Chains A and B, each alone.
Chain A
Amino acid sequence: MTDILFNFFFFSCLILIQSFFLNSFGFYDILLPWIFYYYSVSEDKVRVFLLCALAGYLKDSLSGGVFGVYISTYLWFFLVLRLSSFFLNLNNRVFITFFGVLGVFINGFFLFVSNYKWFFNPVFLNEVLNLFFIELLCCFFSFFLFFSFFVKIRDFMILIQSLIKSKFAQLSRI
């Protein structure tokens, strides 16, 4: 239960950070690394699936786009991770970068599908493609260059989570 609450709080904070500070820079969706992190640390994949769906729902309700884009993105990203984890090492720098970029591609795919009218206007198309490439570049560099930083953050998160768990256990004993 603490695991669910912790991750719920964590991704809610990420959504708020994105809506307050990162939306004007065209930064990629920072919930994709969260899904990656949660997938790699959690053993109960059904729980990950459900939390991804909830994160997508909340993100969709705040976004101005078509409802369902983020739910689709996160669930398909989860599915790709699930299928790939059988034969790929998810702790490798190259593969992690590849999955980050793949997540941005999945997000872009669903955005373009739901807003297919953008393709009929050359001005819009040019702008959205530029925006998409900026997201891809941000994602690639942040995943590839800050891999060790991400690993440290992940270890730190695991530590915090275990601390919260132990505190809850102590409280329940009392």
Chain B
Amino acid sequence: MFSRKKFIKFVVLVFLLVNISALIAAGRGGGKIQGFGSFGLDFFGPVQEALSSGIGYLEKIWQSYFNLVYVSDENLKLKSDLKEFYSKETAYKEVFFENERLRSLLKFSKKIKPEYIAAEVVGRDTAKWFNTIIINRGKDSGVFVNSPVIVPEGVVGQVIKVSKNYSKVLLITDRMSGVDCLIQSSRGRGVVSGTGNDLCIFKYILRKFDVNSGDHVITSGMDKIFPKGLRVGKVVNVKRKDSGIFQDVDIMPFVDFEKLEEVLIIITPPNEKKDD
């Protein structure tokens, strides 16, 4: 009925359609298929770890040599900064204790302090299409999918794949990323989404909220992934269109993702994070 050529063409076409459908289906689910890639993470993880520590060591030698030139200037600047932070810390402590007293007066539930573990960045994505990093902590250390990853400067991203000893973290600058956030001053709420480059965009923020360049953006805690109040970035550009209910806001993350070496992972499961 069919010639051999036609049969081969038919089979190839069927395979192509099945392949495309499977990828579309996987893409709809956010591409988070668990289990499949964990062997690869465990396989390449140790090699990447050894390589990155070797490269890091060489970089540190190089940098420490050049840094010597700037050390004295930097020392003076840090001393003056420290004086300013001492006075700020005293003010923050007062506000903190006042807040604790008021919370107990209002009988608010006590906030559970999240548990952190430190991890080293051992690898990056193999292509520029996606912004992910690989860290040397996995299931054995208590890391789970969606664990928030932070550094003292701000939010880094969230874990999307976990193997025994390694995890893959989706950075907030990735196009697939979304973090529920607030403008710290005006309390306007929206979603910070990555663009694939250094900047992020703050989506779905209503026009009624006053947003200005320099405003800080923090996590809202409403996505049940990131705890409330983590620093995310600074507003760098605001565009208010004549029509529409939202405004376009560009954000520069506080974290320098190119220089990321160590991160902190919050390992308190989401069901233990109590809200006010």
Contact = CB atoms under 8 A, between A and B. Distances in A.
Main DSSP-derived SS at the B contact region = mixed
B217 interface: no
Contacts of B123: 19-20, 62
A108 B123 CA distance: 23
Interface stretch (A34-42, A94-102, A112-120, A157-165): A112-120
A136 to B, nearest CB: 14
B125 A62 contact: yes
Nearest to A60: B37
Contacts of B37: 57, 60-62, 67
A16 B40 CA distance: 12
B27 A66 contact: yes
B130 interface: yes
Interface residues of B, number: 47
Nearest to A124: B175
Interface in A52-84: 57-69, 72, 76, 79
B18 to A, nearest CB: 10
B30 to A, nearest CB: 8
A114 B130 CA distance: 13
Contact of B31 (A23, A29, A58, A114): A114
A115 B168 contact: no
Contacts of B43: 58, 61
A127 B197 contact: yes
Interface residues of A, number: 41
A72 B19 contact: yes
B144 to A, nearest CB: 18
A32 B40 CA distance: 19
Closest 6 CB pairs of A and B: A61-B40, A61-B37, A64-B132, A64-B130, A66-B31, A114-B27
29 contacts: A12-B44, A19-B124, A20-B52, A20-B55, A20-B123, A23-B125, A61-B36, A61-B37, A61-B39, A62-B44, A62-B123, A63-B127, A65-B127, A66-B31, A67-B26, A67-B33, A68-B22, A79-B12, A110-B19, A113-B20, A114-B26, A115-B176, A116-B24, A123-B195, A124-B195, A128-B129, A128-B196, A131-B128, A131-B196
